[in-house]
């Protein structure tokens, strides 16, 4: 979690320096959700798909963070050879299926991945993340219906961070219990407190086991919070500084550090070493990205079609 936090804080600084351009949606504050998840799945076979707040997901799934940093720089050594960028982190080798910019677009894709695994008799579960804004897309209902009908091995997770861009959940819904959207499909569903990784892991264990046993999907609304703006150019007039501070008081990383110290799981020296290692790793990522070249103009015409159809313009 510390690596993810520091990696993204560095990304914010690099954005201001215009080393990273375009959009940049940061995950700071939401780390306990992903941390809990990683403890509940088998990253060697289970698959994860998410929206555009996706920089740290492939890192959690085992991709070296330098490839994510290079992708953010638009460099050829990036995870998508510099042609995906911030919103489209992808690593098939690490079962990370993106990185999707169309709000809600990944919901049916997640069910589709789960369908493929069921059809091919793979013992794998798909985790399909979405935001509180995405649950208002009609495609959620079509997907929930088919996923329940076919008992697909999928866990749908709504990361409710309170806002869709600058619009609060309260402003867009008659009732704010997002988890209840599962009830209409008799899909097991519940709200989960999302600032403590072990609580997330406990509920995900149940959901992932259910999917793996062939008993079908679960819908979890995990309540979390993002500290940064929606993207980098967000003046954040829709919330108060006090609200952000209240969540920082229950910060997941501070909380875990407290548990480690209280239970003497690690000495101060070991904790300092971890902090130092994280700092060095983030620096390694930036150095790697800086030193890498941009894609060549010819690369523009590659990776458009699968197979040999790599057009080179005269």
Ligand X SMILES: Cc1ncc(C[n+]2csc(CCOP(=O)(O)OP(=O)(O)O)c2C)c(N)n1
Note the residues at the interface with ligand X (CB under 6 A): 51, 53, 101-103, 131-134, 161, 163-165, 230
| Partner from Mg ion, ligand X, none binding residue 67, C-beta < 5-8 Å depending on class | none
> Measured from the CB of residue 163, what is the shortest distance to ligand X in angstroms?
6
| Partner from Mg ion, ligand X, none binding residue 134, C-beta < 5-8 Å depending on class | ligand X
> Measured from the CB of residue 129, what is the shortest distance to ligand X in angstroms?
9
Judging by DSSP bridges, how do beta strands 163-164 and 167-168 pair with one another? antiparallel
Retrieve residue 129's tokens.
């993340």
Sole binder of Mg ion in the list 161, 218, 224, 292 (CB under 5 A): 161
Comparison of 141 and 279: residue with beta carbon closer to ligand X: 141
Comparison of 194 and 217: residue with beta carbon closer to Mg ion: 194
Q: How far apart are CA 127 and CA 62, in angstroms?
A: 16
By CB under 5 A, the residues from 131 to 150 that bind Mg ion are 131-132
> Measured from the CB of residue 128, what is the shortest distance to ligand X in angstroms?
13
| Partner from ligand X, Mg ion, none binding residue 230, C-beta < 5-8 Å depending on class | ligand X
Comparison of 27 and 115: residue with beta carbon closer to Mg ion: 27
Comparison of 47 and 230: residue with beta carbon closer to ligand X: 230
Comparison of 164 and 222: residue with beta carbon closer to Mg ion: 164
| Partner from ligand X, Mg ion, none binding residue 259, C-beta < 5-8 Å depending on class | none
Q: How far apart are CA 214 and CA 211, in angstroms?
A: 5
What are the distances in angstroms from CA 279 to CA 2, 45, 285, 288, 290?
10, 30, 10, 14, 17
Find tokens 């790793």 and name the residue: 281
Retrieve residue 131's tokens.
């935001």
| Number of neighbours of residue 146 by Cβ within 10 angstroms | 16
| Partner from Mg ion, ligand X, none binding residue 229, C-beta < 5-8 Å depending on class | none
Comparison of 244 and 281: residue with beta carbon closer to Mg ion: 244
> Measured from the CB of residue 4, what is the shortest distance to ligand X in angstroms?
15
Find tokens 């935001």 and name the residue: 131
C-alpha 83, offset from chain centre = 19
Interface with Mg ion, residue 224, by CB under 5 A: no
| Number of neighbours of residue 114 by Cβ within 10 angstroms | 29
| Partner from Mg ion, ligand X, none binding residue 86, C-beta < 5-8 Å depending on class | none
Closest residue to Mg ion: CB criterion: 131
C-alpha 231, offset from chain centre = 15
| Partner from ligand X, Mg ion, none binding residue 53, C-beta < 5-8 Å depending on class | ligand X
Comparison of 161 and 292: residue with beta carbon closer to ligand X: 161
Retrieve residue 186's tokens.
């008799």
Nearest one of 271, 246, 256 to 196, comparing CA atoms: 256
**Which alpha helices (DSSP H) does the chain contain, by range?**
2-16, 31-40, 56-60, 65-73, 106-119, 139-149, 169-172, 197-212, 241-248, 252-262, 268-291
C-alpha 45, offset from chain centre = 17
Range in contact with Mg ion (rule: CB under 5 A) among 2-10, 84-92, 111-119, 157-165: 157-165
What are the distances in angstroms from CA 292 to CA 100, 177, 299, 309?
25, 46, 15, 26
> Measured from the CB of residue 43, what is the shortest distance to ligand X in angstroms?
22
| Partner from Mg ion, ligand X, none binding residue 102, C-beta < 5-8 Å depending on class | ligand X
Binding residues for Mg ion, rule: CB under 5 A, are 131-132, 161, 164
């Amino acid at each position: 979690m510390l690596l993810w936090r520091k990696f993204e804080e560095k990304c914010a600084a690099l954005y201001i320096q215009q080393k990273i351009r375009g959009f940049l949606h940061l995950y700071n504050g939401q780390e306990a959700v992903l941390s809990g998840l990683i403890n509940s799945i088998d990253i060697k076979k289970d698959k994860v798909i998410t929206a555009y707040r996706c920089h740290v997901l492939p890192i959690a799934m085992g991709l070296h963070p330098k490839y994510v940093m290079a992708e953010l720089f638009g460099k050829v050594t990036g995870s998508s050879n510099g042609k995906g960028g911030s919103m489209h982190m992808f690593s098939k080798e690490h079962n990370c299926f993106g990185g999707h910019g169309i709000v809600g677009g990944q919901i049916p894709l997640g069910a589709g991945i789960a369908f493929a695994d069921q059809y091919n008799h793979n013992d794998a579960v798909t985790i399909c993340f979405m935001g509180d804004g995405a649950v208002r897309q009609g495609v959620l209902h079509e997907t929930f219906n088919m996923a329940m009908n076919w008992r697909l091995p999928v866990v749908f997770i709504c990361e409710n961070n309170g806002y869709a861009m600058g619009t609060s959940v309260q402003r867009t819904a008659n009732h704010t219990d997002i988890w209840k959207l599962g009830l209409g499909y008799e899909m097991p569903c519940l709200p989960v407190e999302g600032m403590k990784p072990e609580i997330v892991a406990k509920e995900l264990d149940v959901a992932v086991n259910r999917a793996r046993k062939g008993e079908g999907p679960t819908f979890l609304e995990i309540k979390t919070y993002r500290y940064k703006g929606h993207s980098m150019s967000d003046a954040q007039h829709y919330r108060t500084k006090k609200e952000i501070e209240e969540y920082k008081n229950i910060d997941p990383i501070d909380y875990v550090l407290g548990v480690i110290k209280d239970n003497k799981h690690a000495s101060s020296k070991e904790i300092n070493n971890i902090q130092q290692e994280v700092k060095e790793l983030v620096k390694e990522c930036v150095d790697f990205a800086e030193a890498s070249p941009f894609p060549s103009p010819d690369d523009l015409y590659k990776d458009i079609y699968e197979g040999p159809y790599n057009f080179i313009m005269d």
